[in-house]
Amino acid sequence: RIVFVNGSFVPYEEASIPIMDRGFLFADGIYEVSAVIDGKLIDNEAHLARLERSLGEISIKNPYTTAQWIELEKELIKRNNVREGLVYMQVTRGVAERDFAFPKGVEPTVVMFTQEKAMRASSAAEAGAAVITVEDLRWKRRDIKSVALLAQVLAKQAAAEAGVAEAWMVEDGKVTEGGSSTSFIITRDGTIVTRQLSNALLPGITRKTVMRLAEEAQLRVEERAFSVEEAKAAAEAFLTSATSLVMPVVTIDGHPVGDGKPGPLVKRLRELYLAMADATPA
C-alpha cells in the first residue's frame, strides 16, 4: 500500500508524522474524500473546491492547486491500482511546539491515502440501511470539513452498538445530518426533502449532485429541516455521501420507513448517480 506524505509517495509502513503535528494535538486540520468508480474520480472537482473553502475558513493555505491535487490523486490511484474505492486527503496546520495560537512559518502537513471499497455493487444499498437518531453534540461550524470528528465517532459508535449503519444527528427536534452523510426523506406526495445549507451541517457534494439529477428528472426537491417524526412517517428515506453514494434508509430507530424496503425513487436516484459516474470522463 502506497500513501502520500508531505510531497512523497511512500509505503504505508514507512510513513510517519511527528507527535507535535497540530492535527494530532488539536484536530487543527481539514480533510476531504472522493469516490473512485471504474478507476475514475467522481465529483472530484467539487470535493477539491470544498477542501479549498474549508482550509480558507481556518486560515490554512491550500498547499496545492486543483490541477496539482488531481495529479496527486490520480498517481495514488494508479500506484494502488484502485478500481473502486476512496481517496482521502488531509491537510493540517503543521508541526510546531504545542501552543494554541497559529505557529509562524510552518508548512501544512499533507497526507493522502486510498481505500478499496465496493461502490457500484453494494449489498448494503440492495438491503437498505438502518439508522438510529442521536443528539447532535457538535460545534457551530459544521460547514467546515474539519478532522475534529469526536462527536461523529461517538454517534457512529452508538450506531455500531445498536447494530445499524448510521446515526442521524438531531438538534432542536430536527435532523441536521448523518454522522458521515447527508439525510434525505421523500414525502408521500413524492417531494425529496433535505435540510437547507447553513453552518449547522456540511454542504454535501453528493447531496448537490443528487439534487441536480433529481431536478433534471423533473422530481420535486425542497430544502428545509425535517423532524424525526416526519422522517419516520415518510414514504422513503435515504442518505448520500462520497462513501455510500445514494443509500436507502429502511428503518429509523427501529421504525420501518414506508414498507421497510428500499423505495422506488431512492433506487432511481442511485441509478441516476451511477449513470453520472459512468459518464464521467477518465
The residues annotated with a catalytic role in the active site are 145
Q: What are the residues facing 114 on neighbouring strands? A: 87
**21 touching ligand PMP, by CB under 6 A:** no
**272 touching ligand PMP, by CB under 6 A:** no
**202 touching ligand PMP, by CB under 6 A:** yes
**90 touching ligand PMP, by CB under 6 A:** no
Q: Specify the 3-state DSSP secondary structure of 247.
A: strand
- CB neighbours of residue 135 within 10 Å: 13
Q: What are the residues facing 32 on neighbouring strands? A: 89
Scan for cell 474539519, then name that residue: 146
Q: Which three cell numbers stand for residue 279?
A: 459518464
**207 touching ligand PMP, by CB under 6 A:** yes
**166 touching ligand PMP, by CB under 6 A:** no
Task: Please state, in angstroms and rounded to a whole number, the distance separating the CA atoms of residues 47 and 51.
Answer: 6
How far lies 25's CA from each of 89, 94, 98, 105, 241, in Å?
Answer: 18, 10, 8, 18, 28
Q: Kindly tell me which residue out of 90, 92, 180, 194 binds ligand PMP, with binding defined by CB under 6 A.
A: 180
**33 touching ligand PMP, by CB under 6 A:** yes
Q: Kindly tell me which residue out of 4, 151, 206, 270 binds ligand PMP, with binding defined by CB under 6 A.
A: 206
Site string for ligand PMP, 229-248 (x = CB under 6 A): -----------xxx------
By CB under 6 A, the count of residues binding ligand PMP is 13
Containing 245, the helix (H) or strand (E) segment is strand 245-252
Minimum CB distance to ligand PMP smaller for 96 or for 277: 277
- Tell the smallest beta-carbon distance from residue 260 to ligand PMP (Å): 24
Minimum CB distance to ligand PMP smaller for 48 or for 95: 48
Q: Which three cell numbers stand for residue 12?
A: 504505508
CA angle 210/214/220 to nearest 5° reads: 125
- Tell the smallest beta-carbon distance from residue 184 to ligand PMP (Å): 11
Footprint of ligand PMP (CB under 6 A)? 33, 177, 180-182, 202, 204-207, 240-242
